[in-house]
Amino acid sequence: MVLEVVMDLLQPSLMASIVNDGVMKGDLGHIGLMSIWMILAAVCGLLGGMGCAYYAIRASVGFGTDLRNALFRKVQAFAFRELDKFSGGTLVTRLTNDVMQVQMLVQIFLRMLIRSSMLFFGSIAMAFLISPKLSLVFAVSLPLFFIFLYALLSKSIPLYRTLQAKLDRVNSVLLENLNGIRVVKAFVRAAFEKVRFKRANEENYEVGLKAARLLAINNPIMTLLLNASIVCILWIGGAQTWEGGLAIGSLAAFITYVTQTLNAMVSLGNTLMNISRAKASSDRIIEVLDTPSSMAEPVAAPLAAGTPSAPSAPSALSALYGQVEFRHVFFGYEEGGEEPVLKDVSFLAKPGETIGILGSTGAGKSSLVNLMPRLYDPTEGSVLVNGVDVKSIPLEELRSQVGIVLQQAVLFGGTIRDNIRYGKPDASQDEIEAAARAAEAHDFIQSFPEGYDTQIGQRGVTLSGGQKQRISIARALLAQPGILILDDSTSAVDLRTEARIRTALRDRLQGSTCFIIAQRISSVADADRILVIEDGRIVAQGNHAELMVSSEVYRDIYESQLGLEEASHAT
């Protein structure tokens, strides 16, 4: 860039020499020599510009790549509490459009901003060397430029921040529509969704139009100031030339330097408008990067010299296989919220036990099991695995021992094999098939022409709800977790298949502790212990026979489901 700018600043001086010492004196040799120097300067400037463009593009694209990677790593490190704060739509916008705005600014900065700044100061210096008196024109024009730019920036920065927020809304509506497209079509709500998207899109358009109008007045006003400055220079400089105080070639060179100075100001104005938009984007990116994760990794305290190391959390984790204890746990999704979701929950699940969790919708069942792998941290109290507080266990080590199967099965684009071995990428085909058989998935997988190599599409769109759930169960079983959580994960499976899956779970995970969240009593009736949750509290616990005697809530649930379940079994 320095080479390119120096060559650009040299050109008007060479041109002035040609006019003053060549044309005015009729010296063709001087004209030829200076022309050669001008050509050489132009070639050197071209080489410098090409090199600058190459490295500026390489640096800016690399910067954007690094920034996206940093954002993605940060999002992966977020606890669910932070993910609840940032919606999917805004995170998509920040990782794509916002990063692109900042990446473009870096490229513009490395090329246009530095070039414009160097040309600006260099041209002023060269113009002052030619005529200090004529350079006083800058004292009038430059303050006007800066006042206009300041006014423009003060209006554009908040406008672009609003524009990015509107783009968030567009992306959020689009993601919701794409994720729920089957529901939209099933309920014939396409017209409603079109109106909803159109409204969000038009709001984005209105703000974008305001920003574009503001940007559009930049060049005309800058050009007006530029031309007015040149007219003043010609007026004053022409008089000096007639009086013999300034050579014609020097006046032409001065005008060129002034033009370069003011063009640099115009370019600087355009760059500052890009800065104002990138400023809004960078604030949103920094907000994500500066948001601390509430799920901090445990930090080992330094040991004094000669002190034997204490047992680490991972070794404590494997000492007993799957013991879970809740000690007076309170939990709320909103920190400082009025009503906690879980209230004074305490229980102990021993290794190898099957714990059923039963309760009405919204009672806090899923919230309870989400605390075991530290998807959330309790507001009060503590959760212990094998006698160790989960906050003292490295997240990777803890979660490698906990398998979760959700009611809404989450599958990824790819083959059935890839989805089953997602938690154990090096699993053999025999291990995959054994897990699939235990989850009652092997038979339907084999019915596909390509078997385990069947492509299931994004989010498993080619599979039924029950098939998705069974593949999710197989994925969890393959990892052989010490703690298995089934969050109503057989709701789309018939009762007979569900019974076979439960039998396979007992046989395959004999040493593991299994938590089963269910709406149907039949799903947990044979559990070693059943926790009945109501309004965030454990109101009863025991096995099926004990609860039928001691818990009125459990009996009410049983009696309300008994007729339906007997009819289902009979059918």
Provide the pLDDT for residue 313: 41
Sign of CA dihedral 215, 219, 224, 228: positive
Domain ranges of the chain: 56-289, 314-401+519-571
Q: Does residue 69 have a pLDDT over 80?
A: yes
How many beta carbons lie within 10 A of that of residue 136, not counting itself? 12
> Greater confidence, 350 or 184?
350
How many beta carbons lie within 10 A of that of residue 560, not counting itself? 10
Res. 337 pLDDT band, cuts 50 70 90:
low
For residue 154, the one-letter residue type is S
Provide the pLDDT for residue 63: 93
Q: What token pair was written down for 327? A: 């000690």
Average model confidence (pLDDT) for the chain? 79
Overall average pLDDT of the 204-224 stretch? 81
Choosing among 1.10.10.60, 1.10.1060.10, 1.20.58.1290, 1.20.1560.10, the CATH entry for 56-289 is 1.20.1560.10
Q: Decide if 468 contacts 407 (C-beta within 8 A).
A: no
Overall average pLDDT of the 157-162 stretch? 79
Provide the pLDDT for residue 59: 92
For residue 377, the one-letter residue type is D
Q: List the one residue out of 104, 208, 199 whose CA is nearest residue 160.
A: 208
Residue at token pair 């204490």: 310
Overall average pLDDT of the 286-304 stretch? 68
Q: List the one residue out of 146, 141, 149 whose CA is nearest residue 229.
A: 141
How many beta carbons lie within 10 A of that of residue 238, not counting itself? 13
Beta bridge partners of 533: 359, 538
Provide the pLDDT for residue 305: 40
Res. 275 pLDDT band, cuts 50 70 90:
confident
pLDDT in tens, 466-495: 888 888 888 888 888 888 888 876 666 667
% residues pLDDT > 70 (the chain) = 88
Q: Of 133-147, 187-201, 520-534, 536-550, where does mean pLDDT reach its minimum? A: 133-147
E strand or H helix at 398, and its extent? Answer: helix 395-400
pLDDT in tens, 492-518: 666 777 778 777 777 777 778 888 888
Tell me how far apart the alpha carbons of residues 342 and 350 are, in angstroms, rounded to a whole number.
Answer: 21
> Greater confidence, 103 or 147?
103
How many beta carbons lie within 10 A of that of residue 290, not counting itself? 8
Q: What token pair was written down for 234? A: 């010609």
pLDDT in tens, 80-107: 777 777 767 778 888 888 898 889 888 8
- pTM, full prediction: 0.62
Provide the pLDDT for residue 500: 80
pLDDT in tens, 223-249: 787 778 778 777 777 767 776 667 777
Q: Does residue 1 have a pLDDT over 60?
A: yes
Q: CA 507: distance to chain centroid?
A: 41
Q: Does residue 66 have a pLDDT over 90?
A: yes
Let me know the angle formed at the C-alpha of 507 by 490 and 364, rounded to the nearest 5 degrees.
40
Sign of CA dihedral 27, 28, 30, 35: positive
Let me know the angle formed at the C-alpha of 90 by 104 and 56, rounded to the nearest 5 degrees.
15
Helix or strand or coil: residue 404? strand
pLDDT in tens, 358-410: 887 778 888 888 888 888 888 889 999 888 888 888 888 888 888 888 777 77
- The CATH superfamily holding the domain 314-401+519-571 is P-loop containing nucleotide triphosphate hydrolases (3.40.50.300)
Q: What token pair was written down for 464? A: 């039924």
% residues pLDDT > 90 (the chain) = 4
pLDDT in tens, 411-428: 887 888 888 888 888 888
User: SS3 sequence, 109-129?
Assistant: HHHHHHHHHHHHHHHHHHHHH
Let me know the angle formed at the C-alpha of 386 by 334 and 545, rounded to the nearest 5 degrees.
85
Provide the pLDDT for residue 567: 38
Q: Does residue 310 have a pLDDT over 70?
A: no
Q: List the one residue out of 430, 425, 419 whose CA is nearest residue 472.
A: 419
Q: Does residue 314 have a pLDDT over 50?
A: no
Q: Does residue 50 have a pLDDT over 80?
A: yes
> Greater confidence, 302 or 6?
6
